[in-house]
Amino acid sequence: MPINKLIYIIQDIFNLNTSLISFQEDVLNAIGDSKSIDDIIKISFNYLKNPIILLNSMYHTCSYYYGEIVIDDPSWNYQLKMSIPHPTYSLLYNQNTKNRKMGENKEEIITTFFPEVMKYKERTIPIVHDNFTIARISVLECNNPLSDCDLEILKTLGKLIYPLLLLDKRFLVENNSEFDNIMNYLLKATNPNKVFIKNALLSLNIDNSNNKYLLLLRDNDNVNSKTKINYVKQYISSLFSKHIVFVYKNSIIVIYNNRNSYENFCESNEYEDFIKSIKDYTLKVGVSKLFNNFENFKVAYNQCKKAIYFGELIHKKEDSPYYFDDYVIFNIISSFLEKGDLNNLLDSKLKDLILCNSNDLYYTLYTFIQCRGDTKLTSEKLNIHYNTLKYRLNKIENLFNMNLNDEDYLVKLKLSFAALDMKKLGGNINVQHYE
């Protein structure tokens, strides 16, 4: 290695160490003098020479400084003016699973650049507490690119400012309000105390007199869901402004008061926005049956989980929302499968048909049952002539002694085919453990 190149490397290391030590001393002195977070952000700007911003877990602007630099970046201008992310930036960031994986690593700096809404690269250090990103510090490289020394300063800033954030309400990890405590109780208690529930809801002015639906919105890519869900919850709350919206575990729960009619909501423009948002943010939605009081809250919650489970299992290519009402039969069948009772559930005549190894007859009967006995629709689905279908159905009745005009028997066959479908798809999983 040439001596002059070696000198440059040594000089860079020396500069890095000198700047880093100086920065640490300045920040520690500021903390010792009880300086504010804003003051520490200004000190950091003096070293990094680029706009710097501090956001909390909800992506709200908590502190920033850019001196006399003119910022002409659309994303940052929006964040500084509105105190929330630019909608396009937010969407692109949350859709990018790889980006989010990197962004939630407390040891690494993430580089973000979305040309649709940004003119410059953004360097961010997440600040993590108990596996949850409580804040992020970002620097916009609009004045000059950050050097290795600058990046080390940014990392150090994250470590030094961390204790201050834990003392600031804007960066609280959990909000253990009275409402949160009651919701947690309802979701965990097997036999909730009726008097306690009544008094607790009364103290919070929560109406328990109307029928309700429960909507469970679960993050489908599951990359640090807690951070993402806390942000998306804000938008969902705006769509359901007359209803109760809160975060539980890594999901959003909506308690929909049916006084406003969920059916009418499904025909509104807001519903179209809702469907778009769950696609944009890769969410899956389960909807419970109608329930009339909070004593059944946990039951409704489990129905939502099961709706998502069955929806993904059986209708993989179809988008949610998934409605528990559509999967009641599958819920009954799953209890048989969990106990290994498939043989007891299957119709004996259908077993004989399966054992005869006639694919034509099996899929003819299967399609006939799925089409609810509609022969015209069945022939179209199978792409066969109507007379061919009638011939096959007559053959099935004669060979296996089935009465395909008996509605009760058709229900039995539907249950049997549903059980076979679930077994084929792996439907013997314990739904209660499916989050």
The enclosing domain of 80 has a CATH number of: 3.30.450.40
CATH number (domain holding residue 355)? 1.10.10.2840
**345-357 confidence digits (pLDDT tens):** 677 888 888 888 8
Task: Please tell me whether residues 132 and 247 are part of one structural domain.
Answer: no
Instruction: Please count the CA atoms within 13 angstroms of the CA of 227 that sit on its side-chain side.
Output: 29
CB 32: neighbour CB atoms within 10 A? 8
Within 194-291, strands assigned E span 212-219, 244-248, 251-257, 283-287
Nearest to 296 by CA among 184, 189, 203: 189
Peptide bond into 321 cis (omega under 30): yes
The answer on 144 and 43 residing in a single domain is yes
Q: Are residues 417 and 352 in the same domain?
A: yes
Q: What per-residue confidence (pLDDT) applies to 435?
A: 37
- pTM value > 0.85: no
Strand partners, 219: 283
Q: List CB contacts of 37: < 8 A, sequence separation 6 or more.
A: 54, 62, 63, 161, 164, 165, 168
How much is the pLDDT for 11? 45
136, 171, 206: which is the final residue of a domain? Answer: 171
Helix (H, G, I), strand (E, B) or coil at 404: coil
CATH number at residue 234: 3.30.70.270
pLDDT at 432: 36
Q: What is the pLDDT of residues 320-339, one digit of tens each?
A: 899 998 887 777 777 666 66
The reported pLDDT for the residue numbered 138 is 97
Residues 183 and 197 in one domain: yes
Please report the pLDDT score of residue 198 as a whole number.
85
Domain boundary among 280, 311, 335: 335
Distance CA 143, CA 332 (A): 63
CA neighbor of 226 nearest in space, from 198, 243, 257, 248:
248
**Full residue range of the structural domain in which residue 221 is found:** 179-335
Low-confidence ranges of the chain (pLDDT < 70): 1-17, 96-107, 173-176, 221-225, 315-318, 335-345, 422, 424-435
Same domain? 268 vs 386:
no
Domain match, 156 and 183 both: no
User: What are the φ and ψ backbone dihedral angles of 158, each rounded to 5 degrees?
Assistant: -60, -40
The per-residue pLDDT for 20 is 87
For residues 21 and 133, membership in a common domain is answered with yes
Backbone angles phi, psi at 70, to 5 degrees: -90, 115
Is residue 105 within 8 A of residue 16, CB to CB? The reply is no
CA terminus-to-terminus distance, the chain:
57
Tell me if 218 sits within 8 A of 286, measured CB to CB: yes
Give the model's pLDDT for residue 92: 85
Q: Is there a single domain that holds both residue 42 and residue 145?
A: yes
152 and 280 inside one domain = no
Indicate if 331 and 347 belong to the same structural domain: no
Q: Are residues 154 and 226 in the same domain?
A: no
- Structurally, how many domains does the chain consist of? 3
Compute the distance between CA of residue 354 and CA of residue 164 in angstroms, rounded to an integer.
68
How far is 230 from 164, CA to CA, in rounded Å? 21
Q: What is the pLDDT of residue 254?
A: 95
Compute the distance between CA of residue 317 and CA of residue 281 in angstroms, rounded to an integer. 17
CA distance 173 to 101: 19
pLDDT of residue 434: 32
Annotate 217-246 with b (16+ C-beta within 10 A) or e (fewer).
bbbebebbbbbbbbbbbebbeebbeebbbb
Q: Report the C-alpha gap between 118 and 300 in whole angstroms.
A: 43
Position 221: which residue type? D
> Residue 36: what pLDDT?
93
Closest CA to 301 of 338, 255, 332: 255
Concatenated DSSP letters for 34-68?
T--HHHHHHHHHHHH-S-EEEEETT--EEEEE-TT
Of the candidates 46, 14, 15, 44, the residue with the CA atom closest to the CA atom of residue 27 = 44
The residues, ordered by sequence, that sit 6+ positions from 197 with a Cβ below 8 Å of its Cβ are 182, 186, 208, 294, 295
The residue among 152, 171, 190 that closes a domain is 171
Whether 251 contacts 218, CB under 8 Å: yes
The residue whose two tokens read 């804003």 is 38
Decide: 113 and 121 in contact? Cβ < 8 Å: yes
Identify whether residues 121 and 148 lie together within a single domain. yes
